[in-house]
Amino acid sequence: MPADRKTGKWLDRVERWGNALPDPVFIFLGLIVLLVAVSAVAAGLGWGAVNPMTGDVLVAKSLLSEENVANLLTGMPETLAHFPPLGLILVVMLGAAVAERSGLFTALMTRAMRGVSTRFLSPAIFVIGLLSHQAADAAYVVLIPLSAIVFAAAGRHPLAGMAIAYAGISGAFAANLVPGQFDVLMLGITKSAAALLVPDHMLNPLGNWWFTAALGILLIPVTWYVNDRIVEPRLGSWTGTPPEGDGPAEATAEGEAKGLRRAGLAALVIIALFAALTLWPGYTPLIDNAATGPARYGPFYASLVAAFMLLFLVCGWTYGAATGSIKSHRDVVRMMTAGLATMTPFLVIAFFAAHFIAMFAWSNLGPVMAINGADWLRAQQLATPVLLILLLLMSSIFDLVIGSASAKWSAMAPIVVPMLMLLGVSPEMTTAAYRMGDSIFNIVTPVAANFVLVLVLAQRWRQDFGVGSLIAMMLPFSIAIGITGLSLIAAWTSFGWPVGPGAPATYAVVAQ
């Protein structure tokens, strides 16, 4: 069923407007210039805020100050090296390039497609995207390119595969079928904020589970409809070929079967290795024995990037050796080199994106904006459901300029959590509303750390795919996810459903 004509025309205008923007490199340069000007004005006006958690006075800092100019000019290598997605994608790509160019990914996707209806590709990939929240940023490098291959193998547009994967990984980040490390992090911040009002307040890391799971289930049919009825029809039918250099010589049926068997054994070895490093009695380098609860598995989650790299490298090499696409170790090195070469456009953009994000942090504008915004929210004295919806909207607006969810919540939680506790809203419910708002614009803001990565990956399939193209492709998901989340927050609060195990949405007002 084709997309609605009015919707299609509107998204076409968004795409044209977006593609009329400068190259992403110059977008970030423009943002840096604007940021410098705003920081200088804010510092001159003495704009600041008091951190309610520590009592420290936070003031806006001019990026033209001696300290920040020195940070910029002396720390460029470190600023780039500390850009979160950079090391991630380079490490994973070393292995993924071998698995891709040896033919392993193509063989796996072709086998997986046999006898499977293409109708269910979108919801299946979306659910995998939800589950991949446990893998943190590694999901961007692994699932998004694989989803494009799956859709292309099924005769569907590969960019639609990327879109539904991106929506599941980032747009639906507030949804989580299985609680993980992010729940521990966010609710840990919430617990500290709640303790400002009630020092012995009990809060567990599963406090958002019922809400996040319900949101994930609701978003499956919503995003399925958006992808298959709105996004993919706009992209048109797929008649192209895989990106240049990604299609190795086809293996014989016998060679492919042999290669897949050996790759499967190699995968079991890698999985067994990481399981042993986590569970072996007396030797658990991937367990933090000093921590308690789910935080103990922090090193294991962090090791998933290395795990994916080794998994792809070893399995790709094993498969290629069996099929003949890899004849020596020199072929492996050549594949790695070719894989990293495709990331060159991302490296250029990453330099400027890394500096924008670092300079925003140096300016102190992020926490000052968040604290003042939360103070304004408190002063409105509105009904509880309206307050939560405003919190959701404020969180989504801040998401356009501040990428880190935990950084924003660290600044906002000490204000909004006690404030809403005094109004009878549980800290867990407040956290759920914040997380929902923080997810909506993740997939359409060019300042998001992984936006440029997804753009570069999409350009491998369509070279003229620009910033506007990506925004127009993902905007229907943002709107649908936002409406769904806002409605769920309003309904959840109105009915007073528990947000998670032992976590009510509302309770008796805390005495001041």
User: Distance between CA atoms of 25 and 507, rounded to whole angstroms?
Assistant: 49
Give the Å distances, CA to CA, from 133 to 56, 140, 274, 443, 480. Answer: 33, 10, 19, 15, 20
Question: pLDDT tens digits, residue range 7-61?
Answer: 667 777 777 776 777 777 887 888 899 999 999 999 999 998 887 656 778 899 9
User: Distance between CA atoms of 46 and 178, rounded to whole angstroms?
Assistant: 44
Res. 263 pLDDT band, cuts 50 70 90: very high
Distance of CA 60 to the CA centre of its chain: 28
Give the Å distances, CA to CA, from 354 to 77, 81, 117. Answer: 10, 9, 42
Per DSSP, helices labelled H in 280-328 are 298-302, 304-323
Q: What percent of the chain has pLDDT over 90?
A: 29
Cβ neighbours of residue 18 under 8 Å, at least 6 residues apart? 466, 467, 468, 469, 470, 471, 472
Q: Are the C-beta atoms of residues 117 and 332 closer than 8 Å to each other?
A: no
Q: Count the residues in the chain.
A: 512
Cβ neighbours of residue 430 under 8 Å, at least 6 residues apart? 190, 388, 391, 416, 417, 420, 421
Q: Are the C-beta atoms of residues 432 and 392 closer than 8 Å to each other?
A: no
Q: And the tokens for 461? A: 């399939």
264, pLDDT greater than 60: yes
132, pLDDT greater than 90: no
User: Distance between CA atoms of 442 and 489, rounded to whole angstroms?
Assistant: 19
Q: And the tokens for 72? A: 């910029």
Phi/psi at 354 (nearest 5 deg)? -60, -40
pLDDT at 250: 61
User: Distance between CA atoms of 423 and 441, rounded to whole angstroms?
Assistant: 28
Burial class (CB in 10 A: 0-12, 13-18, 19+), 199: exposed
138, pLDDT greater than 70: no
Report the SS3 class of residue 503.
strand
Question: pLDDT tens digits, residue range 143-201?
Answer: 888 889 889 888 899 999 999 999 998 888 888 887 766 777 788 778 877 876 677 77
Q: Quote the DSSP letter at residue 425.
A: B
Burial class (CB in 10 A: 0-12, 13-18, 19+), 125: buried
Which residues lie across from 58 on neighbouring strands? 49
User: Distance between CA atoms of 424 and 511, rounded to whole angstroms?
Assistant: 10
Which residues lie across from 503 on neighbouring strands? 500
Q: Are the C-beta atoms of residues 121 and 162 closer than 8 Å to each other?
A: no
Question: pLDDT tens digits, residue range 271-314?
Answer: 999 999 998 988 999 998 887 766 687 788 778 778 888 998 99
Look at residues 56, 365, 413 and name the one whose alpha carbon lies nearest to residue 201. Answer: 413
pLDDT at 211: 92
In sign, the C-alpha dihedral spanning 233, 482, 358, 44 is positive
Report the SS3 class of residue 49.
strand
Give the Å distances, CA to CA, from 256 to 224, 243, 325, 457. Answer: 33, 21, 11, 27
Looking at every residue in the chain, the average pLDDT score rounds to 83
Q: Is the pTM of this model over 0.85?
A: no
Look at residues 186, 176, 183, 96 and name the one whose alpha carbon lies nearest to residue 143. Answer: 96
Phi/psi at 460 (nearest 5 deg)? -70, -25
